[in-house]
Structure 1
Amino acid sequence: MLHSPRRVRWLVLIILSLVTVSLLELIHLPAALLLGPMFVAILFAVAKQMVSLNPTLFRTAQAVVGAMIARAMPIEVFKEMQHTWPIFILTVFSVIAVSTLLGAVLAKFKILPGTTALWGSSPGGATAMTLMAGNFGADVRLVAFMQYLRVLLVTLLATVVSHTLAPESSATSAITQLEQPIAWGAFAITSVIILTALLLSNVIKLPAAPLLLSMIISNLAMNVGGLQIELPLPLLATAYAMIGWSIGSRFTKDILRYAFHALPAILFSVILLMAICCLFAWMLVEFAGIDPLSAYLATSPGGADSVAIIASSVSVNQPFVMSMQTGRFIAVLCLGPALSRLVARWLH
């Protein structure tokens, strides 16, 4: 394909991405829509066959993901935060403190450069953390490698735990969502929100501005204005593909060698974080009376989007689970930049 026309390379990229997503969906991997295109894009980049992505389309994809995150934050989630605020604060900030410490140690021992280790260890939404990391001097490729490696491991363990504690439930494949009807009126409103976020992002300078502004506006529209956020699966799949291609296209043979060289230490930090989160879950069961599956999903460091998919298919306290995941995500978004600067000063 070295001398193939640009359109031919795009066609091959899209077809291979669809095939990879389908294969990942067969094992019910929640992050399949993003990981599939990212894996294919890495192969293209390493083979020096990558096609260029339109910056406007990439920003639009960020805004779509922002609306998707907001949709997982209904008013019941915030009411649950208020109802269980002592447990909420203790659990959320304990996980953030542990992940920050692990990231700082990886950076201190020069296993990963600078603040890359911190953003890679952050237990927020993997996509949002990867998008924001580039605005604070981190290597987006290594952050993506860490985040999505953790997504894979946490999702696998969460799926096993869910089937063990709730064997009658089954995970929902994204492909089955194609059968759901589209509310065209709500979709039109959602499209206007996404467009508004894109226009405002040109004026309001924030890290990952399209994502954050879309998330804020969509959440206000849903919880204050009573509007429905409608995101058809084809739109979400396209947005995830754009982000996956953008991340994957930045990989090179050198960065892959570096990542695999650091893999043992990264794996150790991920497994240690998962183990500590399991300990927090046990404490919720023993001292707060939370059922084991809800406690595990609430403290799982895999990201709110992946946990939301698993939680929707099993019998758990969904408001409690999503309040913990959403609260931690918001806290990481707010504290991430400050923690990044703090770790940078500590390293110097």
Structure 2
Amino acid sequence: MNKNNIFFRNMMFILLSSIGGFLLSFTGLSIGWMIGSLVVATLLSYRKPQFLQTNEQGISKFWTCIGQCLLGIELGQKINLSVMSVFMENSLAIIFMLIMSIIFSIISGYVLWKFSKTDMLTSFYGTAPGGLTAMPSIAEEVGANTAIVSIIQTIRVFLVILMIPMIVSYLLVTPHHSGAANSALMMAAPEFQFTQLFWTFALVFAAWGGAILGKKLKFPAPWTIGSMLGVAIFQTAGSSMVGHDLIAWWPTTFMILAQILIASSIGAMFHKNMLIGLGKIVNLALICTIGFILAMFGCSFIVSKLTEITFVTATLAFAPGGIAEMATTSVLLDGDSTFVVAVQVLRIIVVLLFLPPCFKFIEHYEKKKVELSG
């Protein structure tokens, strides 16, 4: 199969997959493009129509790298002066939340691994609260079952998005809309200005440099983590020099494209034997996720009692859901949306940087234990 034919089939696969994302985007979920595209890509890979035949590794890695790099730029831009200021003011509470997130994640993954037929890495990456878009990409790099990781991550995100806003608004507060103007300012993409375009190119260059360095340093998913760190360092340094946050022209279309490319790449690698023993895995994933959410409520209560942070703000900041969803909910419930965004962003960064090496250490320890017992 020549390169032009492969490129055409890859493009057709991605475009058809994006139809699912487009349809699910009407639900209003920011991850709708990811989930919808993943579902259609998985179905296409399962049915394997002749005009879309791909190799066993799915579509070209080129598309995955672009999607991961776009995701890294999106996350890296969120590390700005405002986030750093919030961290300095509430460092102890945030560190406590991040440590507990890691502990609960490892416990959930360990339970899923011990009581289901899935392998260790798939269990750990499936329960890690690093985001539906990021975790399957990293799981792919280490050889975990990306289909199961995606399913477990989807279950967690949906449970968090459905349960937490409803419980918080029903038991604690009455929703208000006084922050609507602030919400629109925070969530909407900035209008295009020609000067912002220069900063966009600068961040793309920083992301590319970070990804290349990440590959040399053997980072997991270097096109995500390397580009994220490159943009974060460049963004923070540039903003510090001018004394205010620099804003790049970065429309939401780029994040939509990242979700489509990553979801299509994951779905294209699907094959039937990935679903062996899925029923028990899903049931255990539900139990682990509900346990995670309940533990989060307990930790949020402790933080609210020991600090001046409200229970609503602590709950939404600690919730293992999406940044956009939790930030929007915090505005509607009169929480501190800046704090929520800061903690959510820092949690994802900590999870992406520290959990993969931790999982690798646990895997190495278990292998050594098996060898000694054998």
Larger radius of gyration: 2
Offset of residue 51 of structure 1: 5.4
Which has the larger displacement, 218-227 or 328-337? Answer: 328-337
**RMSD (CA atoms):** 3.0
Q: Are residues 161 and 218 of structure 1, via their aligned partners in 2, closer, same or farther at CA, if it must alter by over 3 Å?
A: farther
Aligned to 1:104: 110
Which has the larger displacement, 59-68 or 137-146? Answer: 137-146
Aligned to 2:350: 331
Q: Are residues 29 and 95 of structure 1, via their aligned partners in 2, closer, same or farther at CA, if it must alter by over 3 Å?
A: same
Aligned-partner Cα distance in 2 for 1:341–1:65: 24
Picking from 188, 210, 232, the partner of 1:219 is: 232
**Taking structure 1 as the reference length, what is the TM-score of the superposition?**
0.85
> Once the two structures are superposed, what CA deviation does each residue of 1:104-139 show, in whole Å capped at 9, x if it has no partner?
122123442122111111122332222222333422
In the alignment, structure 1 segments of 5+ residues that lack a partner are: none
Aligned-partner Cα distance in 2 for 1:286–1:152: 28
Q: Are residues 230 and 221 of structure 1, via their aligned partners in 2, closer, same or farther at CA, if it must alter by over 3 Å?
A: farther
Contact map agreement 2:175 2:334 (CA 8 A) in 1: no
Aligned-partner Cα distance in 1 for 2:220–2:14: 29
Q: Secondary structure at the match of 1:126?
A: coil
Amino acid at match of 2:192: P
Which has the larger displacement, 306-315 or 323-332? Answer: 306-315
Contact map agreement 1:187 1:231 (CA 8 A) in 2: yes
Aligned-partner Cα distance in 2 for 1:124–1:138: 15
Q: Are residues 250 and 185 of structure 1, via their aligned partners in 2, closer, same or farther at CA, if it must alter by over 3 Å?
A: same
Amino acid at match of 2:318: T
1:120 maps to 2:126 = yes
Picking from 88, 93, 105, the partner of 1:87 is: 93
Aligned-partner Cα distance in 2 for 1:179–1:85: 29
Q: Secondary structure at the match of 2:120?
A: coil
Aligned to 2:204: 191
Offset of residue 12 of structure 1: 7.2
Aligned to 1:40: 40
Aligned to 1:17: 18
Aligned-partner Cα distance in 2 for 1:255–1:25: 27
Picking from 251, 259, 262, the partner of 1:243 is: 262
Aligned-partner Cα distance in 1 for 2:320–2:233: 26
Aligned-partner Cα distance in 2 for 1:232–1:242: 17
Amino acid at match of 2:130: G
Q: Are residues 252 and 136 of structure 1, via their aligned partners in 2, closer, same or farther at CA, if it must alter by over 3 Å?
A: closer
Q: Are residues 316 and 270 of structure 1, via their aligned partners in 2, closer, same or farther at CA, if it must alter by over 3 Å?
A: same
Q: Are residues 229 and 315 of structure 1, via their aligned partners in 2, closer, same or farther at CA, if it must alter by over 3 Å?
A: farther
Q: Secondary structure at the match of 1:230?
A: coil
Q: Are residues 257 and 109 of structure 1, via their aligned partners in 2, closer, same or farther at CA, if it must alter by over 3 Å?
A: closer
Aligned to 2:296: 277
Aligned-partner Cα distance in 2 for 1:334–1:261: 30
Q: Secondary structure at the match of 2:149?
A: helix
1:147 maps to 2:153 = yes
Q: Are residues 312 and 31 of structure 1, via their aligned partners in 2, closer, same or farther at CA, if it must alter by over 3 Å?
A: farther
Aligned-partner Cα distance in 1 for 2:260–2:76: 19
Aligned-partner Cα distance in 2 for 1:39–1:77: 34
Offset of residue 86 of structure 1: 2.1
**Taking structure 2 as the reference length, what is the TM-score of the superposition?**
0.80
Offset of residue 178 of structure 1: 7.8
Contact map agreement 1:93 1:328 (CA 8 A) in 2: no
Aligned-partner Cα distance in 2 for 1:230–1:141: 34
Contact map agreement 2:10 2:60 (CA 8 A) in 1: no
Which has the larger displacement, 214-223 or 202-211? Answer: 202-211
Contact map agreement 2:66 2:261 (CA 8 A) in 1: no
1:162-177 to structure 2, matched below 5 A, reads: 165=173, 167-169=175-177
Contact map agreement 1:274 1:300 (CA 8 A) in 2: yes
The aligned length equals 341
1:181 maps to 2:178 = no
Offset of residue 16 of structure 1: 5.6
Q: Are residues 106 and 194 of structure 1, via their aligned partners in 2, closer, same or farther at CA, if it must alter by over 3 Å?
A: same
Amino acid at match of 2:18: S
Aligned-partner Cα distance in 2 for 1:178–1:74: 16
Q: Are residues 222 and 13 of structure 1, via their aligned partners in 2, closer, same or farther at CA, if it must alter by over 3 Å?
A: closer
> Once the two structures are superposed, what CA deviation does each residue of 1:311-335 show, in whole Å capped at 9, x if it has no partner?
4666321232233223322322332
> Once the two structures are superposed, what CA deviation does each residue of 1:91-113 show, in whole Å capped at 9, x if it has no partner?
22122112211211221234421
Amino acid at match of 1:58: T
Q: Secondary structure at the match of 1:225?
A: helix
Aligned-partner Cα distance in 2 for 1:319–1:177: 15
**Identity of aligned pairs, percent?**
22
Q: Are residues 324 and 248 of structure 1, via their aligned partners in 2, closer, same or farther at CA, if it must alter by over 3 Å?
A: same
Aligned-partner Cα distance in 1 for 2:168–2:40: 30
Aligned-partner Cα distance in 1 for 2:333–2:201: 31
Q: Are residues 51 and 166 of structure 1, via their aligned partners in 2, closer, same or farther at CA, if it must alter by over 3 Å?
A: farther
Amino acid at match of 1:14: L
Contact map agreement 1:151 1:302 (CA 8 A) in 2: yes
Contact map agreement 1:119 1:143 (CA 8 A) in 2: yes
Aligned-partner Cα distance in 1 for 2:119–2:331: 37
Contact map agreement 1:69 1:305 (CA 8 A) in 2: no
Aligned to 2:275: 256
